[in-house]
Amino acid sequence: MKLRFSLPLSLFLLLLTVALCTGSQLFLLLSVLVVLIVVWSLLAVLWASSTLEVDGDMTEQAVHRGEDLVFTLHMRHRGLIPIAPLLLEISDPAGNTDHDIRLKNLPRRIQSLRFPIHAAHVGIFPVGLRACVVEDLLGLVSKKVNLANTSFSLTVLPCTFATDPLVLSPGDPGSEMMARATEDLNAPSDVRSYQPGDAMKKIHWKLSLRKGELIVRKFDEPILQDVLILMDCSRPPSWGHPQAEADIRDTLLETAASVLTDQVSTDHQVRLPLLGRHPVDVDKSMGLSIAMDYLTRVDFSETDRFERVLIMESRRLRKIGCVVVISARLNIPMVDIMIRMHRSGPNIRFYLITFAPDDENVLPLISRLKHAGIEVSYVTPDFG
């Protein structure tokens, strides 16, 4: 609670001094009136704040980037002494700004407010009414009431787009390789007793006649290669515009989400390490909804340079058939590391998030990557 008593206190002392010096009852009554006004203001604020009733609701608590939702607020107070219009501190995920809104002073009547919210960026944002400030008409007394049941956590999920199918080294999609291996009758790994449903062509007839029971051949299924997605989790470049950095973050997350979504329907295992304050390894077994939630919570707080991350992951490529690299920057060390990774076995696809795909400083590096057999794709953020 804030009390602004300096002015009324000075006025009271002045009137009281004049009343005592002159013996005037008028100035004495005026000094008493000043005290009554202060007490009246204090009582009005305490009455209204103690009887304040607030209820909030939000149409959705998880939406995709670019969608709109509505925050609805219902409130009233039962104080009968007039007060100033209530000041509402409402959080908005668009830029993490706070909006101050004043409501009319209608005691005992429920007032409703519909506040449109636009989910502009991917992330977890506080949304709703954080606090309400109650003031008297003269601005002498104000009390801030913190509210808990009207504050929500809004999850803005990344949007996805279609990506080209990944080609795993040595260019075999994996499922066809497994089908051919199980059909190769010249290379059985073991035998076992016949079970209902086994194909007749897998029966080992000579061994079955010898043992007096049906024996079928067993085949080793080849291990499918994995897909590794590496996203730059360090702070992206700002491009000299405060909104551009947020747009690049959204595009990084949505590119990773798109590749991950398209790979869920394949037979390959997918791994996506997310670094930062709370590192986690996202994989296909988690399920798409949990993976999207982890992506939404990426805060791009990784302090290690992305080149170091590429070097660390390049030492674990034994089962990797394709590496997808997603970054908003490109330099010579990154190019050298990706070329070495490609020469060690897996195919490489590089997604460059940039507003200027024809940047003269980047084009020579892109040419080196393409000359080494690395696939390069550009993704331009939605500015603003």
Q: CA 341 to CA 323: how far, in whole Å? A: 9
Burial label for 381, CB within 10 Å (0-12, 13-18, 19+), is: buried
Q: Where in the chain is the domain with CATH 2.60.40.10?
A: 1-157
The class that CATH gives domain 226-379 is alpha beta
Q: Where in the chain is the domain with CATH 3.40.50.410?
A: 226-379
Q: In sequence order, which residues have a C-beta less than 8 Å from that of residue 80 and are 6 or more positions away?
A: 47, 107
Q: CA 63 to CA 158: how far, in whole Å? A: 9
Please say whether the beta carbons of 1 and 141 come within 8 A.
yes
Please say whether the beta carbons of 61 and 246 come within 8 A.
no
β-sheet with 226-231: strand ranges across? 280-283, 270-274, 226-231, 320-327, 347-353, 375-379
Q: Is residue 56 helix, strand or coil? A: strand
What is the residue-level pLDDT of the chain in tens, covering all 384 positions?
A: 788 888 888 988 998 899 889 888 898 999 999 999 999 999 999 998 898 888 888 888 899 999 999 888 888 888 888 888 888 888 877 644 445 566 666 667 788 888 888 888 999 988 888 888 888 888 899 999 888 788 888 999 999 999 999 988 764 444 444 444 444 444 455 677 877 777 777 788 788 888 888 887 776 555 567 899 999 999 998 887 878 899 999 999 999 999 999 998 888 889 999 998 889 999 888 889 999 999 999 999 988 889 999 999 988 888 899 999 999 999 999 999 999 999 988 999 999 999 988 889 899 999 999 999 999 999 999 754
pTM: 0.75
Q: Which fold has domain 1-157?
A: Immunoglobulin-like (2.60.40)
Pairing mode of beta strands 68-76, 111-118: antiparallel
Please say whether the beta carbons of 256 and 131 come within 8 A.
no
